Chains A and B, each alone.
Chain A
């Protein structure tokens, strides 16, 4: 940066004011998104440098002298260090890149400097993807790349550049031509498992999702979010709505108020009956380990483990979109033999609290013929007494289970699951709370199931002799609609439901429709662009018959393909040049063809104007148009400027030409 701008080499193109203005505009455009990613002073200072450079160009300001530039560079480095305590890493690195780009423009006098900033500009575009890779960002970046390429075309257009539209067209054509190379690189570039190296693990405070703790109110909190939790594509027939229980954290330890996960060292067993379901989940980042799976998962792709509680856990927190395949049984027998330790753990209740609930459970258990009868009675109680399923239950005090069961009787799934599990344990039946999601919205456009944060749910598993762990959903007893119609159906009439659930009428339907379309687009993007990881790459290569190729082979194949496509494009250019295949010639050949049909033959050696005169003598009625079009062609073919508007004029003239 401290290097003085070199003098322009002999024959180096001139840096025109117009080209520099467009370059500044394109670079500014590429920097704007960093206002969201960086402290505002970084992009603001960069834009200030751009403004200075523009003022030099248009208002006669002066470029800073070299000592000032050096000082500014040092200040910029110091500022970045003061803010980030480092000058490397993603955030500090990007900040430094932006500031240096701004300062580079302060010493951009010649074509070579400008070209350097163009390449820095492309790099700035890439840095935006360090922060977000969603579709809107990608579209913005395509526009930015077009802008920077447009500036690049302008820089190389010389002192008499072609018109705006022609330059934009060249930039677009350049980008289209790079598409095959881009695809080759995308498909074949060796993928690294896990997140990009050196990318910091961001604190993801904004992420919503299940936690390893459930208290009254913790699940209803999730309902305020309409965000996507995950999406599922089924290889087999999707299960009916009532069986769509997505298993998340299993909570076995109760402290009187909330439930927590418990780590037991016991083994696990699972027997499945009938046909298993096979599907692929693409899970949004939630910064936890849970991999949601249909109740109950049995097999999964390699980088996840099954816990003794039949939870699926990732090796690392899910900090970016994650895809995995799962096989699940919906008809199963889980842990028919349970060890004594686990049994004790899943029966344990705190010494204090929920006295009335315990008493009631013990009374009912004594009256019942067996565990099943007792369970049925509890569920019946929820169903027939005046229990209300609501998103805004009253706050509970020191003894939440009793308060809920005997006083308020208004609650959300966590209240019912908690109370139910406590009553089971009180009656001597091992029980635990399972949290996860229930239901999901079928997207017919993309043929996948969309599960939102608002589908979060909690239910209970009860262990019965010989039958193992069985799922019971007390919420279903209170509000069957929750399971059959999903959360939106269950909350109709609830005044406190979130705004997105209040949509109705044609407008609401249209919005739902549009959302579904947008979501399926996102799903496609996630699956085929962002989710194209090592596993997908191997799968793709296997399908095209290159299953055994390793990364070195991929690099070789990539190099070969890129060389071939490069050679092909050079060949096309050479062939076109040889054939004299420019747009004007094509139009002229069309004109000659029409005249030939009318019996006026063009001799190969005749120049355009000579031929026009000869043909005009033969057909005086066409003379004027013939002379006009021939002169237009001659000017385009042999003249100095190739103007797109003149080509269009020739094309439309030839199209209208009637013999």
Chain B
């Protein structure tokens, strides 16, 4: 980062423009767009879960366009095979050898639509790529482009014809965001406005991939005080107490929590993380990882609130 700030590329301005543009496409979902951006700035993969038609795909598409990333969409179906994702080698008659045809996963941003419609075998092919940032096809390891994000969407698991992601694989998503129905005013605006698909096509990129890399570097520079780590560890310890949740938060989840909170603080124009940042990102980071033992008593959205209230801020 240069010493003399150029207004248009300073982190604050870049982030504000990205958020403004996302919110102009996805109406009335400021919190979710912000979480999604925080997730990407923290170099995490994002899972959007909700009913069909609330704008999951639109959000993913808008993010790709706004960040100026090379974009691929994979529609997951029950007959999708791993090779459809990673690519195949085909024998080329002219060269008399096998030639690799990369699959749609070779993109900077991959939208995995309705991920829980595919079989576990196909799911795991994607999830491996998410973790390793590389794919291995026929014994040859090929790196994925940089940056590499997966935004996956899934329908609520009660729906028929789905293969729910196992917990171990859910852990690979930094955040799970639920969109929910828009409020009345936003829905009215949506109805009055132009067609979203048309709008998406015209959406200009707000930042360059270089700026995105810089922003990601800035996230790691956000100061995490010892007192804040005390707080994060207290939260983790609370989730691991017996009798509350089926599994406590893993070390990877704890690390994700810190990264996400750093990104949230950066979006909030701060150079240090506050307990508030942790509390804001905690539902998205921990919601898909924590399953209460006593499911009957508590509404799903209350689970994280209870966790926050159980841990005093240092």
Contact = CB atoms under 8 A, between A and B. Distances in A.
Interface string B259-284: 00000000000011111100100000
A634 B273 CA distance: 9
Interface stretch (B50-58, B81-89, B120-128, B306-314): B306-314
A638 B227 contact: yes
Nearest to B314: A580
Nearest to B224: A638
A640 B272 contact: yes
B272 A635 contact: yes
B52 to A, nearest CB: 35
B258 to A, nearest CB: 13
A634 B277 CA distance: 12
B228 A605 contact: no
B225 interface: yes
B309 A605 contact: yes
B279 A607 contact: yes
Given A604-B312, A605-B309, A605-B311, A638 B272 contact: yes
Interface string A601-640: 0011111111000000000000000000000001101111
B276 A580 contact: no
A355 B225 CA distance: 100
A609 B276 contact: yes
Interface string B207-236: 000000000000000010111101000000
Contacts of A638: 223, 225, 227-228, 272-275
Contacts, number: 48
Interface in B174-231: 223, 225-228, 230
Contact of A608 (B226, B274, B310): B274
Nearest to B308: A605
Nearest to A610: B276
Nearest to A580: B314
Nearest to B309: A605
Contacts of A608: 274-276, 313
Given A580-B230, A637-B227, A638-B228, A603 B309 contact: yes
Nearest to B275: A607
A606 B223 contact: no
B265 to A, nearest CB: 9
A629 to B, nearest CB: 15
Given A607-B276, A608-B274, A610-B276, A640 B223 contact: yes
A640 B230 contact: no
Contacts of B226: 577
A29 to B, nearest CB: 36
A609 B279 CA distance: 12
Nearest to A639: B272
B313 A607 contact: yes
Nearest to B268: A609
Query: A605, A608, A639 — which one has the most chain B CB atoms within 10 A of its CB?
Result: A605
Given A604-B313, A605-B309, A605-B312, A639 B225 contact: yes
Contacts of B279: 605, 607, 610
A610 B279 CA distance: 10
Interface string B296-313: 000000000000111111
Interface residues on A, range: 10 to 19
A637 B276 contact: no
B276 A639 contact: no
B274 A634 contact: yes
Contact of B223 (A577, A603, A607, A639): A639
Contacts of B275: 607-608, 638
B47 to A, nearest CB: 26
B154 to A, nearest CB: 31
B222 to A, nearest CB: 9
Given A605-B313, A607-B276, A580 B271 contact: no
A633 to B, nearest CB: 10
Contacts of B272: 635, 638-640
Contacts of B312: 604-605
A609 B272 CA distance: 13
Interface in A577-609: 577, 580, 603-609
B227 A580 contact: yes
A607 B228 CA distance: 11
A580 B225 CA distance: 11
Contacts of A609: 274, 276
Contacts of B274: 607-609, 634, 638
A637 B230 contact: no
A634 B274 CA distance: 7
Contacts of B271: 639-640
A607 B275 CA distance: 6
B30 to A, nearest CB: 17
Contacts of B228: 638
Contacts of A634: 274
Contacts of B276: 607-610
B227 A606 contact: no
A225 to B, nearest CB: 63
A603 B314 CA distance: 12
Nearest to B230: A580
Interface in A560-581: 577, 580
A268 B154 CA distance: 116
A637 B275 CA distance: 11
Contacts of A580: 227, 230, 314
Query: B226, B276, B309, B312 — which one has the most chain A CB atoms within 10 A of its CB?
Result: B276
A605 B312 CA distance: 4
Nearest to A602: B313
A610 B309 CA distance: 13
Contacts of B225: 637-640
A612 to B, nearest CB: 10
B235 to A, nearest CB: 10
Nearest to A577: B226
Contacts of A637: 225, 227
A606 B311 CA distance: 9
Query: B230, B311, B313, B314 — which one has the most chain A CB atoms within 10 A of its CB?
Result: B313
Nearest to A582: B227
A637 B309 CA distance: 21
Contacts of A635: 272
B171 to A, nearest CB: 25
Contacts of B227: 580, 637-638
A576 to B, nearest CB: 12
24 contacts: A604-B312, A605-B279, A605-B309, A605-B312, A605-B313, A606-B313, A607-B276, A607-B313, A608-B274, A608-B275, A608-B276, A608-B313, A609-B276, A610-B279, A637-B225, A638-B223, A638-B227, A638-B274, A638-B275, A639-B225, A639-B271, A640-B223, A640-B271, A640-B272
Interface of A: 577, 580, 603-610, 634-635, 637-640
- In the A-B complex, the 3 residue pairs with the smallest Cβ-Cβ separation, listed nearest first, are A604-B312, A607-B276, A607-B275
Interface of B: 223, 225-228, 230, 271-276, 279, 308-314
Given A605-B312, A639-B272, 19 more contacts: A603-B309, A605-B279, A605-B308, A605-B311, A605-B313, A606-B313, A607-B276, A607-B313, A608-B275, A610-B276, A635-B272, A637-B225, A638-B223, A638-B225, A638-B227, A638-B272, A638-B274, A640-B223, A640-B272
